[in-house]
Amino acid sequence: MSRFFTGTLSALKPYTPGEQPQDMKYVKLNTNESPYAPSDKAKEIAKEHLRELNLYSDPEGRLVRDKLSEMYGVSADNIVLGNGSDELLFFSFRAFCDEGMPALFPDITYGFYPVFAEINRVPYEEIPLREDLSIDISDYADKKGTVFIANPNAPTGRTLSIGEIEKLAASRPDSVVVIDEAYVDFGAESAVRLTEKYENILVIQTFSKSRSLAGARIGFAIGSRELIADLNTIRYSFNPYNINSMTLAMAYGVLCDEERVRDNCKRIAENRDYTASRLKELGFEVIDSKANFVFVRSEAIDGERLYTGLKEKGVLVRHFTKERIKDYNRITIGTREETDILIDRIRELM
Ligand code: PMP
């Protein structure tokens, strides 16, 4: 740290992204990307819609918002785009939390939430998951604060039902409930339709997982006009051109080939079942997942040893050092061929 770094953030511990090593070719099952590249059709459409780069990108992202509006049955005024859903999560902490409105989220969830709270200097409370790593919404009942819930949750893969989300939002009309649906397309139910009835629900989704665009950096939020206007106030106070023209064109292209996206999700869900059953054969405990990853542990091999052993053998998975989950690894669902390599390598290690 330089002596110039602001004292107010001197204790900030930044988020550690999953490794993206370039030293060799790994079977990469550590950052929940899609194993499938965007389709040729999506790329062709993107080319036709790419705006010249001497011009700024459209700060309104009209092309993409109009298409999303059609697809999700909400007005374009109910949608805002972000540079990855991470940016929209950051904006939400900025817009809907402060000294008097803390952030509330599970103790085991997306590791960026506490970092966003810290950088925005917002107090936060981590609410313990149940023993089986599921969320009990009644734990949030008597607490004041803006709630952040990933559904499916990461890294567990467990989901809340839409009924539970509705109950949670209805029970706390004076605070925002942010539902982070980064993994929703792999088998959970979206809360988008609840955003019409509940002005306090904000749904955040991403193009990084089911839509194969992790490298393009784009996500979107859907909520009441007022919530979206608040996020735009933050966005226009920070970076109006937050989505570049290449990304806008590519995102539009991918939205024009939804059939491919649906097929990919189906293939990944099928391979999730296959991966889970192969791991169970090896004696792993596999948490029931609706996401494009599984969260697993085994009494026969320590969590960290599995992670390092697999890395040495060219397979990357994600291990977290937090005490409560240090026995586990989170394994992204790739192709069936990648699963077969993973299983062979685990066998060798065991
Ligand atoms: N939410 C959750 C739960 C995630 O796991 C991720 C991916 N790391 C994100 C949001 C952010 O995704 P992106 O910024 O790529 O849209």
Q: Both 245 and 168 in a single domain?
A: yes
**Residue 13 in domain:** no
Task: Establish how many alpha carbons lie within 13 A of residue 75's alpha carbon, considering only the half-sphere containing its beta carbon.
Answer: 7
Tokens describing residue 145: 């604060």
**Residue 91 in domain:** yes
Residue among 81, 92, 110 to mutate when testing ligand 1 (max atoms within 8 A of CB): 110
pLDDT the model gives residue 22: 84
CB 335 within 8 A of CB 312: no
pLDDT the model gives residue 213: 98
**Residue 306 in domain:** yes
pLDDT the model gives residue 292: 98
Residue 157 Cα, ligand 1 centroid: separation in angstroms?
A: 13
Q: Both 206 and 298 in a single domain?
A: no
Residue among 16, 33, 112 to mutate when testing ligand 1 (max atoms within 8 A of CB): 112
**Residue 74 in domain:** yes
Pocket of ligand 1 from Cβ distances under 6 Å = 84-86, 110, 150, 154, 180, 182, 206, 208, 214, 219
Q: Both 249 and 263 in a single domain?
A: no
Q: Both 266 and 240 in a single domain?
A: no
| Residue that finishes a domain, picked among 235, 256, 277 | 256
pLDDT the model gives residue 313: 96
**Residue 268 in domain:** yes
| Residue that finishes a domain, picked among 208, 237, 256 | 256
Going by CA atoms, what residue is nearest to atom 12 of ligand 1? Answer: 85
Q: Both 269 and 321 in a single domain?
A: yes
| Residue that finishes a domain, picked among 221, 256, 291 | 256
Q: Both 83 and 220 in a single domain?
A: yes
Residue 3 Cα, ligand 1 centroid: separation in angstroms?
A: 32
Q: Both 95 and 238 in a single domain?
A: yes
Q: Both 141 and 215 in a single domain?
A: yes
Q: Both 110 and 170 in a single domain?
A: yes
CB burial of residue 305 (10 Å; 0-12, 13-18, 19+): exposed
Looking at residue 116, which CATH number applies to its domain? 3.40.640.10
Residue 203 Cα, ligand 1 centroid: separation in angstroms?
A: 13
**Residue 7 in domain:** no
Residue among 32, 86, 250, 254 to mutate when testing ligand 1 (max atoms within 8 A of CB): 86
- 11, amino acid identity: A
Going by CA atoms, what residue is nearest to atom 7 of ligand 1? Answer: 182
Tokens describing residue 334: 């790739």
Residue 349 Cα, ligand 1 centroid: separation in angstroms?
A: 30
Q: Both 113 and 78 in a single domain?
A: yes
Looking at residue 327, which CATH number applies to its domain? 3.90.1150.10
- 315, amino acid identity: V
What is the number of residues in the chain? 350
Residue among 64, 80, 85 to mutate when testing ligand 1 (max atoms within 8 A of CB): 85
For residue 214, the ligand 1 atom closest to its alpha carbon is 15
CB 27 within 8 A of CB 341: yes
**Residue 313 in domain:** yes
Non-local CB neighbours of 88 within 8 Å, separated by 6+ positions: 80, 82, 204, 219, 220, 221, 231
Q: Both 238 and 273 in a single domain?
A: no
**Residue 169 in domain:** yes
For residue 86, the ligand 1 atom closest to its alpha carbon is 14
What is the domain extent for residue 157? 40-256
For residue 89, the ligand 1 atom closest to its alpha carbon is 10
pLDDT the model gives residue 270: 98
Q: Both 211 and 290 in a single domain?
A: no
Going by CA atoms, what residue is nearest to atom 6 of ligand 1? Answer: 182
- CB burial of 75-104 (b: ≥16 within 10 Å; e: otherwise) equals ebebbbbbbbbbbbbbbbbbbbbeeebbbb
- One DSSP character per residue, 230-252 reads HHHHHHHTT-TT-S-HHHHHHHH
Residue 281 Cα, ligand 1 centroid: separation in angstroms?
A: 30
CB 250 within 8 A of CB 257: no
CB burial of residue 259 (10 Å; 0-12, 13-18, 19+): exposed
pLDDT the model gives residue 31: 96
Tokens describing residue 171: 């029970």
Distance between the two ends of the chain, CA-based, in angstroms? Answer: 42
Domain count, the chain: 2
Return the closest-CA partner of residue 240 out of 56, 12, 47.
Answer: 56
Could you list the pLDDT tens digit for every one of the 350 residues in the chain? 999 999 999 999 999 998 888 887 899 999 999 999 999 999 999 999 999 999 999 999 999 999 999 999 999 999 999 999 999 999 999 999 999 999 999 999 999 999 999 999 999 999 999 999 999 999 999 899 999 999 999 999 999 999 999 999 999 999 999 999 999 999 999 999 999 999 999 999 999 999 999 999 999 999 999 999 999 999 999 999 999 999 999 999 999 999 999 999 999 999 999 999 999 999 999 999 999 999 999 999 999 999 999 999 999 999 999 999 999 999 999 999 999 999 999 999 99
